Amino acid sequence: MARIVAVIASTHHPFYYRASTSTGADRPPFADEWTRKILAFRETLTRADPDVLVMVGSDHFHQLWLDNMPQFLVGKAPFYDANWYNEEREFGLPRMVLKGHEDLSAHLLRAGLDAGFDLAFSNELRIDHSITCPIITLRPEADLPIVPIYTNIFAPPLPQPSRFVKLGETIRKIVEDWPSDLRVAIIGTGHLSLELGGPRQFGPHGPDPEFDRRAVEWIATGDLDGCLREVTLDSLHAPGNATHGFMDFMLMMGVAGAGAKADHVDSLDLFHTMEAYFTWYPGGAPQ
């Protein structure tokens, strides 16, 4: 059976690419520290030596739209074009093409449907920065095949937080049952507190540093019970109007497992939002 060699949860900050590649007067003062943290985070994936990446993210009204909005969608295609005109325009993100792993996509879809998740699928999916940001930070060679999984954290009505956790637990079991000798890393990105298009956006810190502190603690210690006790669809409005993206972190806590302490924990307090990076090694840290 396949081996899950790393579980990784991260924020997906679209400004990292530009900040880390800019020079001279254009280089922001926080870029060097940010880059140092990303290089340490990248090493946690490199050490795990994966063959294929399951990538959990959320489409930002790029391909998925309100006329036909899936709650959970799995890509099944041999290739995925990536990044969109408005991401190039606003963030300077490069166009990319990533290979897909159709066998694992098919396995996830079949087993997911059989496990009670009526997953949507796409055979022609152009992915966005929720998945390309972790490629840029964690695997800039972009040389490994991926299976993209999109969640709806954006267009209400949304699934309940507990459903995200359950999907994460299910993804882990499905991948562990995949009849393959490949090494799989499961990577998901979301947000801590975040405000977009509202009065609390682009402040000197994230909109709710106290929520961020507690969120990092929940994730780092695998405190799913505590997290689920306090986080509801309603409560997530309070830390910032885009904070429902935290549910993708909860999904990744489900993948890592209740009580699983992260092997790598880091964060960076930036303007507008706090960055946070977590890696678990389910089979023990690589030697």
Give me the torsion for CA of 21, 24, 34, 188, rounded to 10°: -20
Q: Which one, 112 or 148, has the nearer CB to other proteins?
A: 148
Q: Which one, 44 or 243, has the nearer CB to other proteins?
A: 243
Smallest distance, other proteins to C-beta of residue 27, A: 12
Q: What are phi and psi of 132, to 5 degrees?
A: -75, -30
Q: Which one, 158 or 265, has the nearer CB to other proteins?
A: 158
Asked if 95 contacts 83 with a C-beta cutoff of 8 angstroms, the reply is yes
Q: Which one, 243 or 279, has the nearer CB to other proteins?
A: 243
Residues in touch with other proteins (CB under 8 A): 60-62, 65-68, 84-86, 89-90, 154-157, 195-203, 237-238, 241-242, 271
Smallest distance, other proteins to C-beta of residue 55, A: 21
Q: Which one, 44 or 132, has the nearer CB to other proteins?
A: 132
Per-residue DSSP letter, 237: G
Smallest distance, other proteins to C-beta of residue 207, A: 10
The b-or-e profile of 12-30 (16+ CB within 10 A means b, else e) is bbbbbbbbbeeeeeeeeee
Sort 56 into a burial class: Cβ within 10 Å, 0-12 / 13-18 / 19+. Answer: buried
Q: At what angle do helices 31-48 and 129-138 cross, to 10 degrees?
A: 80
Q: Which of 49, 67, 57, 18 is nearest to 191 (CA)?
A: 57
Smallest distance, other proteins to C-beta of residue 66, A: 6
Strands 52-57 and 183-190: parallel
Smallest distance, other proteins to C-beta of residue 196, A: 5
Q: Which one, 67 or 143, has the nearer CB to other proteins?
A: 67
| SS3 state of residue 175 | helix
Smallest distance, other proteins to C-beta of residue 65, A: 6
DSSP string, 111-154: HHHHTT---EEESS--B-HHHHHHHHHH-TT--S-EEEEEE-SS
Q: Which one, 186 or 192, has the nearer CB to other proteins?
A: 192
Smallest distance, other proteins to C-beta of residue 17, A: 16
Strands 183-190 and 3-11: parallel
